[in-house]
Amino acid sequence: MGAPVFGSASIAPVSLRVGVAGGGSAGHVVPALAVAAELARRGVPDVVYFGRADSIEERLASRAGLRFVPVPAAGLRRYRSWRNLTMPFVVLAGIVAAVAAIRRERISVLLCKGAYVCVPVAIGAWLGRVPVAIHESDESLGLANRILARLASKVLISSEATVVPGRRTRIVCTGLPVRDDLEEGNGERFRARHGLAEGGKVLLVFAGSSGSVRINEAVRNQLDALVKDFQVVHVCGPSNSDDGLAGFPGYFQFEYLNEDMADALWLADLVIGRSGATTLAELDAVGKPAVLIPLPRSVSRGDQIVNAQTFAATHSCVIVPDDENLADGSGIVAACATLSESLTPADGASSAAGAGRDARGAARRVAQEVVGMARARHRRR
């Protein structure tokens, strides 16, 4: 059996183990898993995922069949909390654990996809002289990536507009990987599985892996109005379902969608959601119009507001602020009405491949960069 091929080059049959870190939300984990799947297709199936125990990254990585190694981690809270006092000690414990784990797992290269769990893992890799690549989803680096950019051998960015201050080492624009199964998504499969009626328009509501209580409340406050024009598929987040709405005509609620999410995206005619970079990359890949409700600056660094404004310049969408007027939901109904005027029911059987879109392109580019770093390290040894 010959050496596996990566792009136009081949890699010698060496022991290659790729480490991946990233967590806190599906927006960090899903792109990392897409890269892991691409590595497996290219003959590098040995990927180790580092993250917090009992977390979304452990659940999703384990579901994807990856070996998962827990590492202690803690992030800086943007509000007063006693946990900010203990954070340095947790991070120090995480670094010690990461140094041992990186050595034990014989990691060749580490890819960090973002969030605070990456900090101790990347420092542990750096101390063990393992090359580190970081990937940034947004146009500005998050706090973890700002810290790690000083240690990284390579900075991978999703957009040419991304600002990476003070960098002298290589910066590569790869795009943002989206969920690996998006190319195989089929809306009619979702319709049949969950009993949506034939015909008519479908509205998909989702606000990230944790959901949003504020968006949930706004949508439910206007449910009577929304179901007049749409069948509403509402991914409301863990423990956020409303039992009182079970059986409500035209309303289908789910706490989370795993394999079904790609199908739901293809079935939807219109999407309501936050404007995290991964969400927008998926909307771009499936070509769906959207009502975007960015996280406000009071609970974020404002990256979603910038994301939404940039997206709106080239895509069909309406931005609804998350302010005191959101709760009654009237702004959402008005935005849906504006976008709905130009809608025709989507072909739910379509897919990224059928639409001529290269949904896996970014994952391929990230995988190529990671493998190249591993090859360079092995040549030096």
Whose tokens are 């709760």? That residue is 327
- 202-235, pLDDT tens digit by residue? 999 999 888 999 999 999 999 999 999 999 999 9
Q: What is the DSSP letter of 238?
A: T
Is the CA virtual torsion 7, 138, 56, 288 positive or negative?
negative
Is the CA virtual torsion 99, 101, 105, 110 positive or negative?
negative
Strand ranges, E, within the chain = 5-6, 9-10, 18-21, 47-51, 67-70, 109-112, 132-136, 154-157, 170-173, 201-206, 230-235, 251-254, 270-273, 290-292, 317-319
pLDDT at 80: 66
DSSP collapsed to 3 states, 324-347? CCCCCCHHHHHHHHHHHCCCCCCC
- Asked if 68 and 79 count as a contact pair (C-beta separation under 8 A), the reply is no
- 336-350, pLDDT tens digit by residue? 999 998 776 665 555
Query: For residues 232 and 250, what is the distance between their CA atoms, to the nearest angstrom?
Result: 6
One of 3.40.50.1980, 3.40.50.2000, 3.40.50.300, 3.40.50.80 is the CATH number of 5-177+360-380, namely 3.40.50.2000
pLDDT at 306: 95
Superfamily, domain 181-340: Glycogen Phosphorylase B; (3.40.50.2000)
DSSP 284-300: HHHT--EEE-PPPGGGS
Whose CA is closest to 304, among 281, 278, 325, 274? 274
User: In 3-state terms, what secondary structure has residue 256?
Assistant: coil
User: pLDDT below 70 — which residues of the chain?
Assistant: 1-15, 76-84, 167-169, 344-357, 381
pLDDT at 79: 58
pLDDT at 287: 94
| Enclosing H/E stretch for 226 | helix 223-229
252-257: long-range contacts (C-beta < 8 A, 24 or more apart)?
Answer: 252/194, 252/195, 252/196, 255/211, 256/209, 257/206
pLDDT at 11: 42
Query: For residues 216 and 207, what is the distance between their CA atoms, to the nearest angstrom?
Result: 9
pLDDT at 78: 59
> Quick check: do 5-177+360-380 and 181-340 share a fold?
yes
Domain coordinates in residue numbering, the chain: 5-177+360-380, 181-340
- Asked if 166 and 141 count as a contact pair (C-beta separation under 8 A), the reply is no
Phi-psi region of 177 (alpha: psi -120 to 50; beta: other; left: phi over 0): beta
Query: For residues 246 and 301, what is the distance between their CA atoms, to the nearest angstrom?
Result: 36
pLDDT at 357: 67
